[in-house]
Structure 1
Amino acid sequence: MLNNKKFLIGFLLYCIFNHAQAEVLVILPESEPMARAGLSIKQGFMSAYQASDSKTPIKFVNSDKKKISLLLKQNINKKTQMVVGPLARQDVEAVIKVQPKVRVLALNEVSSQFANVSQFSLSKQDDAVALNQVLQDDKIKELYVLQQKDSDIDNELFLISLLTQTDYPLNLIEEAPKKLNKHTGLLLLGNNAWLNQLTKLPHKNIYILPNAIEQDQILPVGGKFCDAPALYGSEWPDVTQATQPNTVSMAYQRLIAFGGDAWHIASQYLAEPNLKSMQFQGRTGLVQISHNQIRRIPHCFENTKKGIRVL
């Protein structure tokens, strides 16, 4: 009987020790061409991780110029409780082909699916869903679309996503109209410099994308957009800390916020491995998890004469 008790105590201590030593493997690019993106996500991830006071060890590995199947084989061991990453789409496809036994939170979205691989991203489809809701609230029945020259490829996925949700015309135009009727909107697709070259824009029913927003640069009055809320408020001090000084471009600020939400999702899976559904107000928007599917709904804003307000 005594030996059985000793065995049981020893077994429990072994389980506790190994659980405490369980680690999260994070796969991100650390060298060109995606090094800056990878570093920004890492900053956000670690800032949120440190703010959470978690004791789970984090192990980072560089995915650049490495075969993902070999990288997983070399780095996943008995202590690996979860994998976060990779970032590049082709690497996410490669992870799905491996069909890993450990849970993976991939940081991009592809069409392929596998039960153990959840996919989280700053997708343009999510941006389109959020902006379409704003268009519906504004009772838009027709939308003019003005694109910056040579930006078609950048905007193609967003436009396709928006088209699948609307039942009214989207008309491509060559010049911005000076006036719009009550139920007509103007979607401007281009960067901030291009946007500020446009003159005499209407002050109502103007819509833009997040890539047109730059630190300390002006936006059209009345322009509406949907973006990561952490860039426009103070509710997430970990993001504010990670983006100091304010010279960090908005594109990388979004990735820092994205990294923070990636840690929050990972922490929920660590706490509850069989998690089926949950939602939380994250740094990049409302994040919803349902049966391994992750959906992100950005918050929407309007630029007014007094500054940016939440819609």
Structure 2
Amino acid sequence: MSTVLKNSPRHFPRLGASRIATVLIASALLSACGSNPSRDQGSLQQAAAQIEHPQQSVAQLLKLARSSQPRDASQYLLQAAQQLSQQEELSWAQNLLKNVDPMLLGNEDFIEYSLLTGKLAMEDGSYFLAKDTFSSERLATLRSQMQPEQQRRLGELKATLFTLLGETQAGVEERLQLRQWLESDQLAGNERALWQTLMMESPEQLQNLAGKRQPFLQQGWYELAAIAKNQSDSIEQQQAKVQQWQMNNPGHPAAANLPEDLRLLGRLIAEQPRKLSLMLPSRGKFARAGKAIRDGFMAAYYQAVENGQQAPQLELIDSSQGDIIQLYQQAVQGGSDLVIGPLDKRQVKRLNDVSDLNVPVLAMNYIQAPSSEQQDEYHQQLFQFGLAVEDEARQCAQRAYLEGHRRALVLAPQSAWGNRGTRAFMDEWQRLGGEIVGEQRFTGKGDYSRVIKNSLQLDLSENRYRNLQRILGTNLEFEPRRRQDVDMIFMLANNNQARQVKPTLAFHYASKIPVYATSHIYGGSKASKTNRDLNGVRFTALPWLMQEDEGLRQDVDSYAKPSPAYQQLYALGADSFALYPRLSQLAQVQQLQLQGRTGRLQMLHNGQLARQQDWAIMRNGKAQPLENISQQ
């Protein structure tokens, strides 16, 4: 059953031997460099004798360091660390550098020490240590004396670091300074990296930077990036603005060599679909979710029509009525150039198994959650978009690790959804090098206090108190003491659950432990009293929920009056409308991110769209955007 819609007035109807040898040598040296200089050198010599030929020079350097005065020892240790770094023995190189006294190094060695220390710190995730290293006054003074190759290395490291820390302006300026030290065949790669840095910034911040008086190169890049990230423009409007920018900035390097995503605009205009089939359920258990996605799509559709943008002809197909393959074929025979849907994962799987998907499909669910670490292969005509909790759980791990935490306690519901989110967080946390010190599940049926008490090991503290009281035979003053090995908590919960978990943590002496959560704790409510129990929680935030004054959300709120549970699905529908003409652009430019209402959207090589979230923190019961890590 289908309905054909045309443009009309507004109405509403997704170790090896090498490593062991190095450990032995490094451990022996670290012991020798301690407070007992008369220690026998036998263990060091024995370790050195065990290594293979490529590491003989490292062993000799370590023996020289053991028998030298501090100044010479620091030089030998630096040389050994450099060789270990070249051999990919990064952690052991880092350990050796901790025994180097940089104050004893000459200028050339100090430069190399700083470059290596910062590089290893970045690879270890210690971004603030790297920033401190690159910000030293001595290094800044020596920069003018560096060789071009050292300038290139330092510039590349600093630009990458600033990007990781979200310091867009500093990253752009470093990239522009780096130009003078690059060969002609390296400039294009530097400009691509600069563009990627800009594309990670919010549209609002780019508009702000473009509106300020800047040097010519910076000004041009900010203006061009603001055009590229303006989500309210159609492809045709964006193309016109890019062409005008080129006319206004003929001497800018990007004028003659536009970023790849902008070079594709003309082709996108020529090839964009003229008719779409929106294939979502109207009946059954997915009916309400399907309606929310459909209404979000239609809100974006009619907004485009009212703004004078070209909009495709639409056909609405009920995916809950009939076989999904036959419904797809119906859409194709009806002249559709793209099918949006289905929502049911089982139907998405069936379409993936069809050999003749002649028309692309943008499914509103994933067969498996997207992951850049492990990507399954799917039909090349099948694109998958949804609201995977795994995306957000991994980003919680990345953010917490980036902010210096290493030992995590996990609190999650006993459910399939809780299992998926927990596994994604734990896998990413351990991949980064973090430790899971505990994992507890709650049912939400009055067990929050018991679960949290056990997870914080307060029961063990109380048992020790009772045993001591029994032994002494007297009453004692007592305050339970929670475990001290937790430096962050990952809370996976919906809004109602989170508003009970967070106060219970405070009741059980854990109010000072940072809590990270996914966007599911926040439903977009302006009522500060409702969310005051969540104060201090850092969470991934959908732009849709943070932009209360955004026109499209206001349209949906006034018409559909959506419950908090379905707000995200309206955003998913609106984003599917923004995505449909840009699928080929995202597929061809792998690093391209589209600023959407569910986050920054990027396509993996297998056609899955992954979401990168903004961040917020609850303060006084209100969700507020969380500043860049370096600004906290």
Same fold (TM over 0.5): yes
Equivalent of residue 38 in structure 1, options 286, 290, 293: 290
* 2:373 is the counterpart of 1:117: no
Q: Which has the larger radius of gyration?
A: 2
Equivalent of residue 428 in structure 2, options 152, 160, 165: 165
Distance 1:103-1:243 versus aligned 2 partners, 3 A rule: same
Residues 195-234 of structure 1: pairs in structure 2 closer than 5 A:
195-197=498-500, 198-199=503-504, 200=506, 201-214=510-523, 215=525, 216=527, 217-218=530-531, 219-234=533-548
Does structure 2 conserve the Cα–Cα contact (< 8 Å) formed by 1:30 and 1:64?
A: yes
Whole-angstrom CA distance in 2 between matches of 1:193 and 1:117:
36
> Post-superposition shift, 1:50?
1.7
Equivalent of residue 85 in structure 1, options 320, 338, 341: 341
Does structure 2 conserve the Cα–Cα contact (< 8 Å) formed by 1:139 and 1:183?
A: no
Moved more, 208-217 or 55-64: 208-217
> Post-superposition shift, 1:101?
0.8
> Post-superposition shift, 1:32?
2.0
Give SS of 1:143's match. Answer: strand
1:284 aligned partner: 598
| Number of equivalenced pairs | 289
Structure-2-length-normalised TM-score: 0.43
Deviations 1:205-254 (CA, angstroms, capped at 9, x unpaired)? 11223333343431421111113111111474212311237952222110
Moved more, 88-97 or 218-227: 218-227
2:40 aligned partner: none
Residues 98-117 of structure 1: pairs in structure 2 closer than 5 A:
98-99=354-355, 100-111=357-368, 113-117=378-382
Does structure 1 conserve the Cα–Cα contact (< 8 Å) formed by 2:401 and 2:429?
A: no
Give SS of 1:156's match. Answer: helix
Equivalent of residue 194 in structure 1, options 497, 501, 521: 497
Structure-1-length-normalised TM-score: 0.83
Deviations 1:262-309 (CA, angstroms, capped at 9, x unpaired)? 11110224xx68952332211000011254342211212111237322
Q: Match for 1:50: what amino acid?
A: Y
Does structure 2 conserve the Cα–Cα contact (< 8 Å) formed by 1:276 and 1:289?
A: no
Distance 1:248-1:60 versus aligned 2 partners, 3 A rule: same
Give SS of 2:428's match. Answer: coil
> Post-superposition shift, 1:52?
2.1
Whole-angstrom CA distance in 2 between matches of 1:227 and 1:62:
31
Distance 1:75-1:202 versus aligned 2 partners, 3 A rule: same
Distance 1:274-1:163 versus aligned 2 partners, 3 A rule: closer
Distance 1:294-1:193 versus aligned 2 partners, 3 A rule: closer
> What RMSD over aligned residues (CA atoms) do the two structures have, in Å?
2.7
Equivalent of residue 154 in structure 1, options 417, 421, 438: 417
Give SS of 2:410's match. Answer: strand
Give structure 1 stretches of 5+ with no counterpart.
1-18
> Post-superposition shift, 1:26?
1.0
Whole-angstrom CA distance in 2 between matches of 1:235 and 1:124:
26
Q: Percent identity?
A: 22
Whole-angstrom CA distance in 2 between matches of 1:80 and 1:284:
26
Whole-angstrom CA distance in 1 between matches of 2:295 and 2:331:
21
Equivalent of residue 309 in structure 1, options 613, 624, 627: 624
Give structure 2 stretches of 5+ with no counterpart.
1-270, 369-376, 441-450, 457-480, 627-632
Going by fraction, where is strand more abundant, 1 or 2?
Answer: 1
> Post-superposition shift, 1:142?
0.9
Distance 1:193-1:279 versus aligned 2 partners, 3 A rule: closer
